[in-house]
Amino acid sequence: QVQLVDTGGGLVQAGGSLRLSCAASGRTTSTYAMGWFRQAPGKEREFVAAISWSGGNTDYADSVKGRFTISRGDAKISVYLQMNSLKPEDTAVYYCAARPLLADSVVTTPDKYNYWGQGTQVTVSS
């Protein structure tokens, strides 16, 4: 079983930056596609960014393109989300997710992920 822990959220002013991190514990024997999702109060969980197991393929929601960057760490299940030029509408709980996947592809649909972090709150003040 894989457990994900996502950290790095906080309160920041509009235009500021934050870096979210996600790491795993437990049995990690496969290769994993990973992603970040977010959920604002009263809204459904939405896709933010995804990365393939090699890091060679990435995808972003249109709302964050050019401002957010997803990258992988050295560990098999380790991912970061660098968020720049933050806006108040970026305020949400952010979740990392992992899916065992042999293909070097991105996964952008939340119901295709097997493991989830507990979420980290990002609040952007205007």
Q: What is the pLDDT of residue 74?
A: 81
Q: What is the pLDDT of residue 26?
A: 79
Q: What is the pLDDT of residue 29?
A: 78
Q: What is the pLDDT of residue 58?
A: 98
How far apart CA 59 and CA 111 sit, in angstroms, is 17
Structure tokens at 16: 């500021």
Contact 94, 80 (CB under 8 A): no
Interval 75-103: pLDDT, tens:
878 999 999 999 999 999 999 999 999 99
State which residues of the chain have pLDDT below 50. Answer: none
**DSSP state, residue 85:** S
Q: What is the pLDDT of residue 1?
A: 80
Q: What is the pLDDT of residue 34?
A: 95
Structure tokens at 75: 């560990």
